[in-house]
Amino acid sequence: MTSKASFISLLICGLLIAALVARNGQVLLLAVPFLVYLIVGLLQCPGDMSLRAWRTPSQAQVAAQEPLQVRVYVENAGPTLANLCVIDACHPAMAFEGHARQRSALPEGEGMQLEYRVRAPRGIYAWNGIEARASDPFGLFELRRDLPAFSEVRVRPAPLKMRPAPFQPQETLHAPGPTVARLAGTGTDFWGIREYRPGDPLRRLNWRLAGRYPHRLFTNQFQGEEIADFGLIVDARALSSASTLESTIFESSIQAAAALAEVILRRGNRVALLIFGENTSCLFPGYGKRQLSFVMRDLCRAKLGRNLPLRYLEYFPTRVFPAKSVIIAFSALDAADVDTYARLRSYGYEVVLVSPSPVEVMARTLRATRLNDRAVRTARLERAARLKTLLQMGVEAVDWDVDQPLDPLLQGAARAMTRRRNQ
Amino acid sequence: MKLHSVLRLAGLLAAAACLTLAYGMVGDWLILLSIPVMIIFWFLARGRSGFRAASGLLAMYVGLGVIGIARHASGLLMATGCVFALLSWDLSDPRGRSSVQARPGQATLLEKRHLQSLGVAAGASLLLAALASALRLTLPFGVVVLLALVLTACILYAVQYLRRSAGHEHRE
């Protein structure tokens, strides 16, 4: 029963009471049209409905805020429905374009189609069912059903342009890959010369040196190119109560982590992922498209959580990040986290901190007053001092203003890391 | 869509004409000032929700009808006016119209069924109202009260039953 039927019933009751109060039977005459209207509606109310529904999103995965076309098809396997309303309710975070609700008659054996477009922020979105409301032609008495039609769409973080950063880990896995190893191997870059050993290919003999030293032979060695291990740590802790600032920083971190994971995995390296927040998720090292899909899934699900100290990282199994791998952390950097980075360095990891700058994000939202300017300047100095401490520990810290591209900063950090090691 | 609008306007005009005629026949012209009041109300309220404004208008119309009958205006004319007001009110409800993106055949079918049902309801109402006004039954007040109570109870029971059954179906 809808509000329309309730209104008509109320009018009829009101007229009955008015007739009694006025002691005038003619007042009841006015109730006749409403009673007949109600009865005609009741007689045409559908007894049951037999509907089948399908929902087909155009893609199973889209990038954040990218339009996604959704088609809903409802087929009537029962008798004709004179007034059917189909509603496909979406997640409140999704922005609509088009119509997710359609009303029309649906004859037996026929179907109706709804088409709409949605745009959503990062996340995993699921539709459970489609709501169908069949009623009499006046819309007085409704029959509701939830038609099962499960669909899921993964909305990836918005893409970020990034080139492969030449990070060089201390150790590589002994399998052919893209990362320059600190060993002689099968690569193309010249590495060194050693004395000839039986079995060395003749095309690698250094004839010029053989000419200089008679009765001795030398072999050219080339630099090995192997697979490297990378670990990504995404800080999902809400460090302050400024929710807009926190979410901007967090979304930027997620975006950067997704872009970097994609670049690293596409080059054939191994990636492990740890999202550290209220719900900590951990992904063991893996290669290829499958691992990329898992990484994206975890990054899609990631949410900002309660403030846990980063030293909890100590309790994580060491297998998550293989020894001497490159750990890239995405964090705004809390004062209490410095010790954790020092400890990671002491375990032998190469640590790179990509730190989206909360100071720059905040500075843009503040009014330009003398006091605010001083506050921002102080915060910048404090942050610079903290990052410098990390640099002194051997942690490569990237101070990232989220409105600027990250790629040049990462390239610079990778080069600086190599330079520091070679010194 | 266009037919709906035309019929709705025609219903409104017919309802207003019935009210004017009924009040005019008893020489109570002053109450006709309520018609511009209703028009102003309509223009003020339709901005928020067209259908709610129409519901308010229908309630006001019924109220005027009751006052008219109390002032010895023609009951049949008032009932006829109520039929047209009801018709106009129903046509202002979007639930009776198909969505813009519906397939033409299905959209026509819904509107056709709706108008047919409305025609049946209006015709039956006019016929019943005419029959009822022709019949002159004199019943004692106690019997009338009893009948009214039984009828009210029946309506309330029917409403509760329908709500309950709708709730069950929704849970299923």
Q: How many angstroms separate the CA of residue B140 from the nearest CA in chain A? A: 11
CB contact under 8 A, B107 and A7: no
Q: What angle do CA A300, A306, A310 make, to 5 degrees?
A: 90
Element (H, E) at A181: strand A173-195
Predicted confidence (pLDDT) at residue B162 exceeds the cutoff of 70: no
How confident is the model over A19-31, as pLDDT tens digits? 888 877 788 888 8
Give the other-Cβ count within 10 Å of B20's Cβ.
16
Q: How many angstroms separate the CA of residue A150 from the nearest CA in chain B? A: 18
pLDDT at site A328:
92
Predicted confidence (pLDDT) at residue A62 exceeds the cutoff of 60: yes
Give which of A365, A357, A409, A408 is closest to A383, Cα–Cα. A357
How confident is the model over A274-288, as pLDDT tens digits? 988 777 888 899 988
Mean pLDDT of A258-262: 92
For A306, phi then psi, to 5°, come to -65, 160
CB contact under 8 A, B62 and A136: no
Predicted confidence (pLDDT) at residue A257 exceeds the cutoff of 90: yes
Give which of B87, B97, B93, B92 is closest to B123, Cα–Cα. B87
Mean pLDDT of A341-351: 86
Residue A54: helix, strand or coil by DSSP?
strand
pLDDT at site B36:
79
Give the separation between CA A183 and CA A221, rounded to whole angstroms: 10
Contacts of B122 in chain A (CB under 8 A): 33
A403 class by beta-carbon count within 10 Å (0-12 exposed, 13-18 middle, 19+ buried): exposed
The answer to whether the CB of A94 falls within 8 A of the CB of A117 is no
Give which of A191, A198, A192 is closest to A224, Cα–Cα. A191
Contacts of B137 in chain A (CB under 8 A): 25
Give the separation between CA B100 and CA B108, rounded to whole angstroms: 11
Q: How many angstroms separate the CA of residue B62 from the nearest CA in chain A? A: 7
pLDDT at site A260:
92
Contacts of B90 in chain A (CB under 8 A): 37, 138
Size of interface A-B (CB pairs under 8 A): 172
**Would you kindly state where each structural domain of chain A is located, as residue ranges?**
3-43, 51-156, 173-226, 228-422
CB contact under 8 A, B69 and A15: no
Helix H, strand E, coil C: the string for A22-86 is: HCCHHHHHHHHHHHHHHHHHHHCCCCCCCEEEEEEECCCEEECCCCEEEEEEEEECCCCEEEEEE
Measured between CB atoms, does B32 come within 8 Å of chain A? no
- CATH 3.40.50.410 for domain A228-422, yes or no, is yes
Predicted confidence (pLDDT) at residue A292 exceeds the cutoff of 90: yes
Measured between CB atoms, does B2 come within 8 Å of chain A? no
For A265, phi then psi, to 5°, come to -70, -35
Give the separation between CA A74 and CA A161, rounded to whole angstroms: 41
Architecture per CATH, domain A51-156, reads as Sandwich (2.60)
Give the separation between CA A401 and CA A355, rounded to whole angstroms: 9
Closest residue in A to B81 (Cα) is: A30
Dihedral angle, C-alpha A338, A343, A344, A346, nearest 10 °: 130
Give the separation between CA A5 and CA A28, rounded to whole angstroms: 19
Measured between CB atoms, does B109 come within 8 Å of chain A? yes
CB contact under 8 A, B100 and A82: no
The answer to whether the CB of A40 falls within 8 A of the CB of A52 is no
Contacts with A306 (C-beta within 8 Å, 6 or more apart), sequence order: A237, A238, A277, A278
The answer to whether the CB of A351 falls within 8 A of the CB of A341 is yes
A51-156 and A228-422 share one fold: no
Q: Which of residues 127-156 of B touch A (CB under 8 A)?
A: 128-129, 132-133, 137, 139, 141, 144-145, 148, 151-152, 155-156
- The one-letter amino acid code at A18 reads A
Cross-strand pairs, A69: A117
Residue A231: helix, strand or coil by DSSP?
strand
CB contact under 8 A, A105 and B69: no
- When CB atoms are compared, the residue of B82, B86, B110 closest to A105 is B110
Pick the residue of B155, B164, B168 with the most A CBs within 10 A to test the interface with A by mutation. Answer: B155
How confident is the model over A89-109, as pLDDT tens digits? 888 888 888 778 888 888 888
Give the separation between CA A235 and CA A231, rounded to whole angstroms: 13
CB contact under 8 A, A36 and B170: no
Give the separation between CA A359 and CA A245, rounded to whole angstroms: 9
CB contact under 8 A, A15 and B113: no
Give the separation between CA B12 and CA B15, rounded to whole angstroms: 5
Pair type for strands A81-87 and A123-135:
antiparallel
Give which of A235, A27, A137 is closest to B118, Cα–Cα. A137
Mean pLDDT of A390-412: 89
Residue A59 has, within 13 A of its CA and on its CB side, a CA count of: 15
- The one-letter amino acid code at B16 reads A
Give the separation between CA A282 and CA A273, rounded to whole angstroms: 6
- When CB atoms are compared, the residue of A24, A37, A104 closest to B98 is A104
Q: How far is CA A2 from CA A92, A139, A143, B45, B121, in A?
A: 25, 7, 10, 21, 18
Give the separation between CA A33 and CA A12, rounded to whole angstroms: 10
Taken as a whole, chain B contains a residue count of: 172
* DSSP assignment letter at A93: T
Closest residue in B to A13 (Cα) is: B152
* DSSP assignment letter at A165: P
Residues B155-159: contacts with CB within 8 Å, 24+ apart? B155/A9, B155/A12, B155/A13, B156/A13, B159/A1, B159/A5, B159/A6, B159/A9
CB contact under 8 A, B82 and A145: no
If pLDDT is split at 50, 70 and 90, which confidence band does A323 have? confident
Pick the residue of B76, B100, B117, B165 with the most A CBs within 10 A to test the interface with A by mutation. Answer: B117
If pLDDT is split at 50, 70 and 90, which confidence band does B170 have? very low
Predicted confidence (pLDDT) at residue A258 exceeds the cutoff of 80: yes
Give the separation between CA A164 and CA A263, rounded to whole angstroms: 6
pLDDT at site A259:
92
pLDDT at site A311:
60
Give the separation between CA B97 and CA B114, rounded to whole angstroms: 8
pTM: 0.69
Higher model confidence: residue A329 or residue B168?
A: A329
Cross-strand pairs, A112: A74
Q: How many angstroms separate the CA of residue A12 from the nearest CA in chain B? A: 9
Contacts of A115 in chain B (CB under 8 A): 101
Pair type for strands A396-400 and A350-356:
parallel
Residue A244: helix, strand or coil by DSSP?
helix
Contacts of A9 in chain B (CB under 8 A): 155, 159
How confident is the model over A105-157, as pLDDT tens digits? 888 888 888 888 989 888 888 888 888 888 888 888 888 888 888 888 999 88
Closest residue in A to B62 (Cα) is: A30
Q: How many angstroms separate the CA of residue A152 from the nearest CA in chain B? A: 24
CB contact under 8 A, A83 and B133: no
Predicted confidence (pLDDT) at residue A295 exceeds the cutoff of 90: yes
Q: How many angstroms separate the CA of residue A89 from the nearest CA in chain B? A: 16
Contacts with B166 (C-beta within 8 Å, 6 or more apart), sequence order: A1, A141, A142, A143, A144
A267: which 2 tokens?
């080059």
The answer to whether the CB of A412 falls within 8 A of the CB of A163 is no
Residue A66: helix, strand or coil by DSSP?
coil
Q: How many angstroms separate the CA of residue B36 from the nearest CA in chain A? A: 22
Mean pLDDT of chain A: 85
A310: which 2 tokens?
């980063």
Complex ipTM value: 0.81
Predicted confidence (pLDDT) at residue A186 exceeds the cutoff of 50: yes
Give the other-Cβ count within 10 Å of A312's Cβ.
12
Closest residue in B to A132 (Cα) is: B170
